[in-house]
Amino acid sequence: MTKNVMLVGVGGQGIILAAKLLTQGLMEAGYDVKMSEIHGMSQRGGSVSSHIRYGDKVEGTTIAPGEADLLVSFEKMEALRELQYLKPTGTVIVNEHEMPSMPILSGDAVYPTDAVEEIQKHAKTVTLNATQMAVALGNAKVANIILLGTIIKAMGLEQIDWEAIIKENVKAEFLDMNWKAVRCGMDIVA
Amino acid sequence: MKQLFTGNEAIARGAYEAGVHFAAAYPGTPSTEILENISNYAEICAEWASNEKVALESVIGASIAGGRAMASMKHVGLNVAADPFFTFAYSGVNGGAVIITADEPGQHSAQNEQDNRNYAKAAKVPMFEPANSQECKDMVVEAYRVSEKFDCPVLIRMTTRVCHGKSIVTLGQREEVEIKDYQKNVKKYCCVPANAKLLRKNLEEKIKNLKEYAEKTPFNFAEENDNTTIGVIASGACYHYAKEAFGENASYLKLGFSFPFPDDMISDFCRKYKKIYVVEENDPLIEEHLLQLGFACHGKDLLPKYGEMTPDVIRKYFLQQEADLIDYRKESVVDRPPALCAGCPHRGFFYELGKHQDVMVSGDIGCYSLGFAKPYNAMDLLICMGGGFSIGHGAQKVFQMRKGETKRVVSVLGDSTFFHSGITSLIDVVYNNSNTVSVILDNRITGMTGHQDNPGTGYNAKGESSAMMDIEKIVRALGISHVRTINPNGLKEVRETLDTFLKLEEPSVVITKWPCALKKFSKEDKEQFAGAFTKKMKVNEEKCIGCKLCMKCGCPATHMDAQKKKMRIDAIQCVGCGVCSQVCPKEAIEWEEA
């Protein structure tokens, strides 16, 4: 059975790296893995998403609305925007970090206050502020790795040697912080 | 060894393993990463060409000289390269030649949704359609065998999801292929009518042979499931989509080599099944061919005529199945439109240009296409790469013919676009004595596709130092005397230049020269733009009156503190272009102390 994990957020949040680490771990664990990204506008503050699919044999690279087992939103409002992708029985992980879009910055619209509340009404929801947690660890940039930790736990992928995967992909001096970030994320999910 | 590769990475790997000697491309989503990855292989001479036609032409030369060569481009790029493409089919190759087209079903980042499989048929060039990364690599290797065996260029048609989708690829070794001897052969390579007529005749023979190949190639295959009455024919990513939607309830004919079609194979398959469904993206090419062969089928009669044919689409239109969706309130979600980055050198120019209500702005393709959007509203049209100047020229000529019409045209395009085909448009402007104001937004890099070098940057695709074209010198050499190179972050200079040039009755050119805020500076940039992006701005709250005029710059680093009614600047994003401070009527935006 193919499992579908969808990462959503804003350009520059490190979604592409998180997806790369996740898919590499899945591949090395022997799964068939496929992934799709749309990143043409990512450098210009647009929404970004990464579709990750794994199982014995995966066909297409994309996840359709209503098909994601896990929706991980790196930004709070994006979780509400993309909730349609979640299976009604699926789980949402929301980084409560807020990144106002241009209409909000310019005062033409307001940042939604009801995002998490609305999501909780419809789906199993895990909330955290990965960005604050990352700052506490010493670098706001590892928020994506904390979120990777939440995915590992939520999808029951703890048996994969993530430390080795991280070792292959990050510089030696950041290894410790990144590994702490993974553990930190794993601890959040019950 | 196994690796997770995007289709683009796999095409590059295929080129490496196939012993390719020469590759050329012009950047364009979703094809850009093909040449970027090829350029990492020391064995291959990899080049950014000034445009797709030039890329293909240099590939033709490389092939005729005896090397294996590859040109890659986005779908609209093949329109630019169509002229050599059609005649290359006549001459054929010496060393194998492969052309990659990256189509865009669903238009994720393109101005149209054309189906370049039509080019294979129209030019009589054989075509492969990979469905995943493994096939991308394998088909490249096979395409070179086909190219050399049948003496023809080969087209590989990818789509966005194949280009940017990742899947597992088993790597092989590079097969070193010797560069073939070059023999002068005017009957083959000099396509004057007398020779081309014979080549045209030979082409029919080649297609006949390729039809036989199509019946035998392992890239065309049937997958039969027991007790099924449904047969599905698909190509490219649609093969996986169809299998996901129909599962074991159907049998499949996968067309990996789809021009010329394997007619016998298709006919045998169609005869076996009660109901035939065709799944293909963009035009109904397979479907129409089935009808020609005399088989009824369902395809675009039920499916949407455009967009991606993902499993959910197939389920909805073929099987009347729809997924259960969460029913929730999303009214409070605010749009997240892309915006010019903080420090983008296009901001100051579009801020000033947008104030001119009496002009038509003829736009072009690049990051600066965002000039059309709020808050600038500074673009009237955008059609194709390099068209900004010439479309503006035609418009200006007609405005002048209309009695009482005083509208003036400002045409804009970027540095890479100028080298692509804007340069020929500008020649037209000068030659036909237009009074349009032509603006070259020179941000020192090809920005939109993710920072590729171009003839203006001083570096080539391998990152080696190269000739650096001087845009101002080129423009002056064309015979334009009204030329100004300005820093677009200085609003007064932008304003005065536009005002002055809009009064002229002769052609004029403005070059706004300042690097992209995301650019990794070269040695030359560091010298020329010393101090750029090293400072930040901040708001002096005592002076700020909350008038929001600075918001008209559309900078993502500024926002309104609704409670305090004061502007705020995000110190992390701000790179100190200083545009907002020039807009402020109260001088409330100041340089941060160093």
Half-sphere exposure of A73 (CA within 13 A, CB side): 28
Decide if B164 contacts B6 (C-beta within 8 A).
yes
User: Which pairs from B177-186 meet CB under 8 Å and 24+ separation?
Assistant: B177/B18, B177/B19, B177/B21, B177/B68, B177/B95, B177/B144, B179/B21, B179/B65, B179/B66, B179/B67, B179/B95, B180/B66, B180/B67, B180/B94, B180/B95, B181/B66, B182/B64, B182/B65, B182/B66, B182/B94
β-sheet bridge partners, residue B25: B48, B72
* % of chain A at pLDDT higher than 90: 87
Dump pLDDT digits (tens) for A91-134: 999 999 999 998 998 888 999 999 999 999 999 999 999 999 99
| Nearest residue to A60 via CA among B297, B302, B314 | B314
For B:249-268, CB contacts with A below 8 A are none
Listed residue (B29, B33, B58) closest to B45, CA to CA: B58
What are the residue boundaries of the structural domains of chain A, listed by start? 3-129+151-168
Orientation angle between helical segments B491-501 and B346-353, nearest 10 degrees: 50
Is domain B535-593 in CATH 3.40.30.10, yes or no? no
How does residue A39 score in pLDDT terms, banded at 50, 70 and 90?
low
Q: Which residue of B has its CA nearest to A26?
A: B4
pLDDT at A47: 84
Q: How far apart are CA B1 and CA B566, in angstroms?
A: 58
CATH architecture for segment(s) B346-528: 3-Layer(aba) Sandwich (3.40)
CA gap B149, B126 in Å, rounded? 12
Judge contact between B162 and B6, C-beta under 8 A: no
- Residues of chain A found within 8 Å of residue B168, distances taken between Cβ atoms: 27, 32-33
Q: What are phi and psi of A120, to 5 degrees?
A: -60, -30
Residue A89: other Cβ atoms inside 10 A: 9
Torsional sign, CA B512, B513, B515, B517: negative
* ipTM of the complex as predicted: 0.95
A88, A3, A18: which is closest to A48 by C-alpha?
A: A18
Q: Which of B109, B134, B333 to mutate to test the interface with A (most CBs of A within 10 A)?
A: B333
CB pair distance less than 8 Å for B325 and A61: no
pLDDT at B215: 98
How would CATH label the architecture of B2-216?
Answer: 3-Layer(aba) Sandwich (3.40)
Sheet containing strand A32-38, strands side by side = A124-128, A86-95, A68-73, A3-10, A47-55, A32-38, B166-170, B2-6
- CA–CA gap between residue B379 and residue B369 (Å, rounded): 8
Give contacts of B367 with chain A, Cβ < 8 Å: 44
For A79, residues 6+ apart whose C-beta sits below 8 A from its C-beta are: A8, A71, A73, A92, A94, A115, A116, A119
Pull the structure tokens for residue A25: 């771990």
Q: What is the widest separation between alpha-carbon atoms in chain B?
A: 82
Average pLDDT, rounded, for chain A? 94
- N- to C-terminal Cα distance for chain A? 24
What is the rounded CA–CA span in Å between residue A99 and residue B394? 43
Q: Are strands A32-38 and B166-170 parallel, antiparallel or unpaired?
A: antiparallel
B62 to each of B52, B149, B501, how far by Cα in Å?
Answer: 15, 17, 45
Neighbours of A140 (CB within 10 A): 15
* CB-CB contact of A36 with A49 (8 Å): no
Q: Does domain A3-129+151-168 have CATH number 3.40.920.10?
A: yes
* Dist CA B47 CA B39 (whole Å): 8
Torsion on CA atoms B425, B429, B435, B440, rounded to nearest 10: 30
Residues whose CB is less than 8 angstroms from the CB of residue B504 and which lie 6 or more positions away in sequence, other chains included: B435, B437, B482
Chain B CB contacts of A106 under 8 Å are: 375, 548, 551, 554, 559-560
pTM across the whole model? 0.97
Cis status, amide bond into B30, omega within 30 of 0: yes
Averages of pLDDT over runs of 10 residues in chain B (594 residues) are 96 98 97 98 98 98 98 98 98 98 94 97 98 98 98 98 97 97 98 98 98 98 96 98 98 98 98 98 98 98 97 98 96 92 97 96 96 95 98 98 96 98 98 97 95 97 97 98 98 98 97 96 96 94 95 93 91 94 97 78
Taking only the tens place, the pLDDT of each residue in A1-20 is 899 999 999 988 999 999 99
State the average pLDDT over residues A139-166.
Answer: 96
The pLDDT value recorded for residue A43 is: 61
Residues 6 or more apart whose CB falls under 8 angstroms from that of B496 comprise none
> What CA–CA distance (Å, rounded) separates B576 from B344?
10
Chain A: residue whose CA lies nearest to B31: A40
Could you tell me where the DSSP H helices lie in B22-109?
32-38, 52-64, 75-80, 82-91
Residue A42 confidence (pLDDT): 52
Residue A128, classed as helix, strand or coil, is strand
Taking a C-beta distance cutoff of 8 angstroms, is the pair B119, B125 a contact?
Answer: yes
CATH number of the structural domain B220-318:
3.40.50.920
Q: Which of B384, B295, B434, B334 is nearest to B112 (CA)?
A: B384
Position A46 scores a pLDDT of 81
How far is it, in rounded angstroms, from Cα B97 to Cα B85? 11
Question: Is cis: bond before B375, omega within 30 of 0?
Answer: yes
Tell me the C-alpha distance between B594 and B581, whole Å. 17
Q: For an interface test with A, which of B132, B336, B372, B580 has the most A Cβ atoms less than 10 Å from its Cβ?
A: B336
Domain locations in chain B as residue ranges: 2-216, 220-318, 346-528, 535-593
What is the three-class DSSP state of B395?
Answer: helix
- Judged by CB atoms closer than 8 Å, whether chains meet at A102 and B554 is answered as yes
Do the domains spanning B220-318 and B346-528 agree at the CATH topology level?
A: yes
Mean pLDDT of A65-88: 97
Q: How far apart are CA B78 and CA A160, in angstroms?
A: 44
Task: Choose among A186, A163, A183: nearest CA to A21.
Answer: A163
Could you tell me if A121 lies within 8 Å of chain B, comparing CB atoms?
yes
Q: Would you call B372 exposed, middle or buried from its count of C-beta atoms within 10 A (0-12, 13-18, 19+)? A: middle
Phi/psi class of residue B269: alpha, beta or left (left: φ > 0; alpha: ψ in -120 to 50)? alpha
Q: Which of chain A's residues have a Cβ under 8 Å away from the Cβ of B28?
A: none
**Using the beta-carbon criterion (under 8 Å), do A112 and B334 form an inter-chain contact?**
yes
